[in-house]
Chains A and B, each alone.
Chain A
Amino acid sequence: MRQVNAFLDSRSIQIREDILRMMARGGRGHLASALSLVEILRVLYDDILNFRPEEPRWSDRDRLILSKGHGCMALYALLADKGFFDQAEFQKFCQADGILGGHPEANKVPGVEASTGALGHGLSIGVGMAVHAKLEGRRHHVLVILGDGECNEGSVWEAAMSAAKHRLDNLAAIIDCNKMQSYSTTFEVMDLEPLSEKWRSFGFEVREADGHDVEELRRTFQALPFAHRKPSAIICHTMKGKGIPGVENNLSWHHKSKLSQEEITILFSKLRSQP
């Protein structure tokens, strides 16, 4: 298995603090699933995607679908950071008067392309968007972030076959491969290995990267598309709960509710104590 040792810089810590601010207000959330996504989303929004926060539906934007919708706190942190909405919304996470829920909704949150939360939907939607872009001769890209556990869903592989059939080199599947799902490790619940070979055999051009190494992610994403007339897949090796000791690789942090303020304070201090 690939090692995931990347050092977290101040921006990575800052984004994680924003996630903890949402957790503090909501008292709940898929914390560990969001933490494994932070560097992937950070690099995409900082260096790769074309978008206009003031015009979220700008027709030439790159489309990013967070198919593993339960990782949405990381997406909310980046969207707010880029100005799609005010960070004050963090204070209403999962509240009746807020737009940010436990799974992201396109009709509520500017910058969210598709409402997700039920797994195995995003790649098919991405295929539809990418086919449309090809029909129109448009240059934008469609990126879909999936969890490795999500790849249990048969619909993911239906979509993969279709992406290859349509030679969608404007489409990339980014797999947040944190090796854990709700019940246990992916190896125990439904072993996906060899995951890269699976994607390759389904017609994708595949690369792997350390999903917390900002430089490596940037280089990898900048190389998209990896092949002419083939969809791309990037297996990002990540750590569930990355950045907070005690949450890292800890199954009991897949989803938490009824968090006390004391527990939140401890999470903040553990995050800030990162080397």
Chain B
Amino acid sequence: MRAAVLDCIYELAKTDDRILFMGSDLGKGTLDQFKREMPERFFMEGISEAHLIGMAAGLAFEGRIPYVNTIATFLTRRCFEQIAVDLCLHSASVRLIGNGGGLVYAPLGPTHQAIEDLAILRALPNMTIVAPADANEMRRLMPATVDHPGPIYIRVAKGSDPLVTPEGGPFEIGKAFLMRTGEEALVLTTGITLKIALEAASALENQGIGIAILHVPTLKPLDREAILAKAEEVPIVIAFEEHSIVGGLGSAIAEIIAEANFRPSKKFARLGIPDVFPDQYGSQESLMGRFGLTVDRLISTILKFLEQTSARYSTANLGENHGIS
């Protein structure tokens, strides 16, 4: 996915001279071809993220479209005020490309793990947030970022993530995509959790249980209409993300589900990173296991809810109030 996003920036810049690439202090060789062919639009500005965002804002005020790339924690935590004031308040067309969203940098520790990037940026007016599931989705997304109004945060997973979305086809910022239909539960995903949800869905299908998967690459603006329409059809809704349970996809879904006041109410769970800093190194996969971001946990959560739901339905059949579970 990381290679895909950089390729896309290069390809887009070749045909649109408003586009600039800006990095802080990225790895040797990053976008060398871009630098060789369009040196005047390639900026490596040093380990100074606050300045980088302000400078990008100044360029955007003049009509440029800077794509700013560095490690997600540095791009969001360090320069939050610049993002809020210089980008969001001005609705500046700057694209933030955050490397290593979630637990990608597990071996490097909590300073490098972007576990709350979606939450803090989601709180900012005028911000758009997208977390693609794989390189294919990233390639579909990127052309749509060029003329999108205001700032965009693009959360990048690690390289070589398995491909789970189609190669071609449309992508619309702000739209959720139905990846699988099913009557018994709805799982909402963003970023790479789509892959895990698809595996869980296949396993459940073998047990005769059909679950729908609505993939939500755009966290903000949220596709409220599509989410509520799908939630309406099922008794169980689960939000599944590689992010803190505070403020990300789970919170966003909880907010709209709560306000929809469904009757009967939905069984709802947020599966994500608990409200802690990761306490182990290892790998992205091992930390995801530690926090239960796994096929097994998703399946067991759904099965537990299904049991409770059937019990409620049988009680309801005896004439009890549907709204009270």
Contacts and interface: CB of A to CB of B under 8 A. Distances in A.
A105 B91 CA distance: 12
A115 B85 contact: yes
Contacts of A154: 50
Most buried by A among B46, B52, B55: B55
Interface stretch (B56-64, B113-121, B193-201, B212-220): B56-64
A131 B40 CA distance: 10
A211 interface: no
Contacts of B58: 114, 124-132
Contact of A129 (B48, B52, B62, B89): B62
Interface in B18-74: 40-41, 43, 45-46, 48, 50-64
B48 A125 contact: no
Contacts, number: 90
Contacts of B81: 118, 121
A125 B89 contact: no
Nearest to B57: A125
A135 B57 CA distance: 16
Interface residues of A, number: 29
Contacts of B59: 128-129, 131-132
A209 interface: no
B85 A118 contact: yes
Given A124-B82, A125-B57, A129-B62, A162 B51 contact: yes
A152 B266 CA distance: 52
A161 B55 contact: no
Contact of B55 (A113, A115, A127): A127
Contacts of B56: 128
Interface string A121-150: 111111111111101000000000000000
Nearest to A160: B51
Given A132-B64, A135-B40, A125 B46 contact: no
A15 interface: no
B241 interface: no
A128 B68 CA distance: 13
B48 A162 contact: yes
A129 B59 CA distance: 5
A9 B157 CA distance: 63
A128 B50 contact: no
A162 B22 CA distance: 13
Interface in B240-293: none
Interface of A: 105-107, 113-115, 117-118, 120-133, 135, 154-155, 158-159, 161-162
6 contacts: A114-B61, A118-B81, A118-B85, A121-B54, A159-B54, A162-B45
